[in-house]
Amino acid sequence: MTGTAGRTPETDEPPDRTHRQILVLLSGLLLGMFLAALDQTVVSTAMRTIADQLEGQTAQAGVTTAYLVTSTITTPLYGKLSDQYGRKPFYVFAIAIFIVGSMLCGLATNIYELAAYRAVQGIGAGGLLSLAFAIVGDLVPPRERGRYQGWFIAVFGLSSVLGPIVGGTLAGQSTLLGIDGWRWIFYLNVPLGLLALTVVLRHLSLPRKRSSARIDFLGAGLLTSAVVPVLLLAEKGRDVGWGSALSLGLLVLSVASLVSFVAWERRMGETAILPLRVFSSSVFSITSVTALLVGAGMFGGIVVLPLYLQIVRGASPTAAGLQLIPFMVGILITSMVSGRVMSRTGRYKVLPTIGTSFMFTALLLMSTLDVDTPLWQAMLFMVVMGAGLGLSMQTLVISVQNALPARDMGIATSSVSFFRSLGGTLGAAVALAILFGSLAGNIQDRARAAGLPADVVDRFSSATALDDSSIIPNLPDAIERAVRDGFADSMSTVFLVFAMLLVPAFVLTLLVKEIPLRAKGGLASAHADAKTEEALSATRSETAVL
């Protein structure tokens, strides 16, 4: 494309596709999304059981963070490379590496191996979700995207509902066909992934692209070295000391890498992994920060909710999965509604504003949860939280896709996904750090208030006890109550902290400029832009000759 370094434009105008043809093309994307979305909810619900069996309850943050780090870091790289070379090859690669990572996770023998293999899995996940929405942006005009968004959200909702149930059921099995039940959570991805790969290869047809532009590997490396130290600090800061030499060293490395990243991206210009010109769009800048805060609030809640149901309320993994269904129902309903509103009215700004207010309200209400809270009340709070997410998530993506030029579809989509994932990664790490950092003290306070002897207090608030929460139901009643109350107190703190993050997110949604939704899909718009640029170039050449 003229005006884009190293890109060769398509010579044929992208054909208009019927509704039926688009649905056929979307089938492969829906399977890929189902693969990634199911994995997130399956593992989240089963994490307590997995951590208990691998004797690493307090180290489970590493498993969550490893997956989120790699999926976050690779997201912008997928977006940029797919803009240059086409989306299908990278989508196929993402599925394949996800399958490999899943097999390795099933073979893990300790919590640290599992974290490493989840990192491999995350490399594939980084492309599955972001590229799916970029491809939809290529095919469907922003105003009509709501018609098809419903299919994606239906799949997301289905996987979100099935995930906790399947995860809880498999984690609740000691063995299945001679293999630990929880390992089937990862092995399940293999046949599902192979099916997705087959459908994508056969039915996903997109234009091929050629590019001689450099791949910004150094930019990706600098971005990684800017983000990872912050995540490590969030997870390990309480253990090594927030003011320790290691903590300060990580902070310095992160800042230095960020400064170097910005300087390098300015030098790379259009070939940068994240071209700095996109930040000149106020919609992009404001929405990116909003996505980061929404991601943090979302993962802060998702990580803690299953632990509340299982540890505080004593639910089995399977029961906890079923009890999370209201959360998923809230997402599904409001996502479908938001898609229809955008399709019929062309308006979208009000949706994330309402969504962030719902999320704030839900997290504030969740901060009141304790051992004696009726289950129906907790489930009602989950519906409100899910409703807020359903109104916010994809609306933010569409607003940025609509604001940036069509040639930046991959960058637009992956950037919002990157900032949301970054927020989620930080949110998960910080949530678990707050939870386990305050837990021992809260258990001790509860035990003292119950009049338990000092030696008992110290013994059952130790790190060893916290690493295996399966011992809690076997404790004497008074001690068990103190431990559950201590967990509830720590979780309340987590919910309250993340509720406060939604306040600036709400304010930012009010500042976003609403741009009328385009009537053409990304491929058609890019083709039209290329024709216009060619005509202008021809006119300039003729003028120069005259």
Domain boundary, last residue among 272, 297, 315: 272
Q: Contact, 209 vs 7, CB < 8 A?
A: yes
CA distance readout (Å), 243 to 58, 247, 250, 257, 448: 21, 6, 11, 20, 30
- Burial tier of 136 (Cβ tally within 10 Å: 0-12, 13-18, 19+): buried
Element (H, E) at 236: helix 217-240
d(CA 106, CA 183) in angstroms, rounded, equals 5
pLDDT tens by residue, 232-289 = 787 677 677 777 888 889 899 999 999 999 999 888 887 888 888 888 888 889 999 9
Together in a domain, 256 and 395: no
CA-to-CA separations, 380 to 123, 162, 387, 487, in angstroms, rounded: 35, 19, 11, 21
For residue 310, give the nearest of 301, 296, 302, 320 by alpha carbon. 320
Domain annotation covers residue 13: no
Sign, Cα dihedral of 220, 417, 381, 156: negative
Asked if the structure places residue 4 within a domain, the reply is no
Same domain membership, residue 324 and residue 230: no
- pLDDT score, position 369: 94
Residue 168 to residue 166: CA distance in whole angstroms:
5
Domains in the chain: how many in total?
A: 2
Task: Indicate whether 427 and 513 sit together in one domain.
Answer: yes
- Cα 188 to Cα 176: distance, rounded to the nearest angstrom: 12
Which uninterrupted H or E stretch holds 523? helix 522-545
- Same domain for 281 and 197: yes
On the 0-12 / 13-18 / 19+ scale of CB atoms within 10 A, 256 is middle
Residue 8 lies in a domain: no
Residue 180 phi/psi, 5° resolution? -50, 135
User: Which positions of the chain have pLDDT values less than 70?
Assistant: 1-24, 45, 55-59, 61, 142-147, 149-151, 153-154, 156-158, 160-161, 206-213, 235, 238, 454-469, 518-546
What b/e sequence results for 399-424 when a residue is b if at least 16 CB atoms lie within 10 Å of its CB, and e otherwise? bbbbbbbbbbbbbbbbbbbbbbbbbb
Residues for the chain: how many in total?
Answer: 546
Structural domain that includes position 498:
19-206+273-545
Residues 232 and 187 reside in one and the same domain = no
Q: Are residues 199 and 298 in the same domain?
A: yes
Q: Tokens representing 184?
A: 């089937």
Residues 89 and 169 in one domain: yes
Residues 96 and 129 in one domain: yes
- What CATH number is attached to the domain comprising 174? 1.20.1250.20
What's the pLDDT tens digit per position in 331-380?
Answer: 888 888 887 888 788 788 899 999 999 999 999 999 999 999 999 999 99
Together in a domain, 236 and 280: no
User: Cα(300)–Cα(427) distance, rounded to whole angstroms?
Assistant: 5
Among 247, 272, 297, the domain-final residue is 272
Residue 420 lies in a domain: yes
Short-list 359, 424, 408, CA closest to 386: 359
Please report how the helices 350-366 and 477-511 are oriented relative to each other, as an axis angle in degrees rounded to 10. 160
| Ramachandran assignment for 86, one of left (phi > 0), alpha (psi -120 to 50 degrees), beta (any other) | left
Whether residue 413 sits in one domain with residue 360: yes
**Would residue 6 count as lying in a domain?**
no
pTM recorded for the entire structure: 0.79
Specify whether the CB–CB gap between 273 and 291 falls below 8 A: no
User: 343: which 2 tokens?
Assistant: 């399709």
Cβ neighbors of 544 (< 8 A, separation 6 or more) are: none
478: in domain = yes
Looking at 242, 272, 302, which one is the last position of a domain?
272
Please check whether residue 10 lies inside any domain of the structure. no
Tell me how far the alpha carbon of residue 350 is from its chain's centroid.
23
232 and 318 in one domain? no
Q: 467 and 333: one domain? A: yes
Domain contains 11: no
Residue 157, burial from CB neighbour count under 10 angstroms (0-12, 13-18, 19+): buried
- The three-state secondary structure class of 180 is strand
